[in-house]
Amino acid sequence: MTATPTAKTDAATQKTIFRERLAVLRKNKTFVIGVAVLVFWILCAIFGKWIARYEINQMDFKATRSAPSGKYWFGTDSLGQDVFSRVIIGSRLIVIMAFSATALGTLVGTSLGLVAGYFKGWFDTILMRFLEAISAIPVIIIALLAIAAVGRSSTIITILIIGFIFSPNIARTVRAAVLGEAEFEYVAAAKLRTERTPHILFREILPNVLPPLIVEFTVRLGYAIFAVATLSFLGAGVEAGSPDWGTQVAETWSLIFGNTWWPTLFPALAIASLAVSVNLISDGLLEVFEL
């Protein structure tokens, strides 16, 4: 019974710590910029249809490859499609794919890492060996192999593949944190109370390894954006003809030799801004968690 009051104070201190961290983050300029840019692209992903000025496939054959102007803010491509609208709506696929792949990787990786770190033994050894083997192949190359083996490019398949490729790294982070936590008395206490193992893993240990997990999530999200964009650029990430940034760059970049730079540069800058925003966020989080 004496455990209850301590638990409450813990919750209270944790709230204070959380508030303090939030205050530090709010003062961190690069973090705030990162959040602003990311939120902007998430809003575009959700409400893009209403922000875009033209339909995504609406062609203006009288104005193909026209330079940025009042009518077409970012110019038009060789089909006379409005680049601005395509960039705004193009945010949807990459945002959805990167977030889903990272979420999947986190889910699978966290479970694996918790189990490996808690039970150790042969499961841990085998898992760690496999993780090392998977990380010996560059993400893009293993993803290309998997996509080729499945035989077609689709959003869902790319999400699944990147999610699974990322799970080892997350598992490693969680495992390392669990190895540290498992030594603490609260775990021994939970065992003495004969709590069930899933309860110990997910309700006792998991909350305590959240900080490194959150940072790892943002770092992976950055890599997911990198990977999704690159795969689409290579023509393997999404269905052909999708209004996706990587695909837009791939379809238009040969035009830059004729000085028609706008259909390529704007989606390229969009990819860069999204990736950098996530990096600034993880950088800020890393600082406040003092990892």
Question: Does 256 engage in binding with other proteins (CB under 8 A)?
Answer: yes
What 3-state class would DSSP assign to 19? helix
Question: Does 40 engage in binding with other proteins (CB under 8 A)?
Answer: no
Of positions 107, 148, 189, 291, contacts other proteins by CB under 8 A:
148
Of positions 81, 85, 173, 279, contacts other proteins by CB under 8 A:
279
In the complex, least distance from residue 161 CB atom to other proteins, rounded to whole angstroms:
9
Site pattern 100..139 for other proteins (x: CB under 8 A):
-----------------------------xx-xxxxxxxx
Residues 6+ apart with CB under 8 A from 71: 63
Residues 217-246 that bind other proteins (CB under 8 A): 222-223, 225-226, 229-230, 233-236, 246
Q: 194: alpha, beta or left, given left = phi > 0 and alpha = psi -120 to 50? A: left
Question: Does 278 engage in binding with other proteins (CB under 8 A)?
Answer: yes
What gap in Å lies between CA 74 and CA 266, rounded to an integer? Answer: 7
Structure tokens at 48: 């893009």
Decide whether 98 or 205 has the Cβ nearer to other proteins. Answer: 98
What gap in Å lies between CA 244 and CA 242, rounded to an integer? Answer: 5
Contact 260, 65 (CB under 8 A): yes
Give the position of tokens 């996530």. 278
Site pattern 258..277 for other proteins (x: CB under 8 A):
-x-x--xx--x--xx--xx-
> Which residue, 114, 123, 107, is CA-closest to 174?
114
What gap in Å lies between CA 237 and CA 243, rounded to an integer? Answer: 12
Q: 76: alpha, beta or left, given left = phi > 0 and alpha = psi -120 to 50? A: beta
Decide whether 14 or 125 has the Cβ nearer to other proteins. Answer: 125
Which chain residues interact with other proteins by CB under 8 A? 30, 129-130, 132-142, 144-152, 222-223, 225-226, 229-230, 233-236, 246, 249, 253, 256-257, 259, 261, 264-265, 268, 271-272, 275-276, 278-280, 283
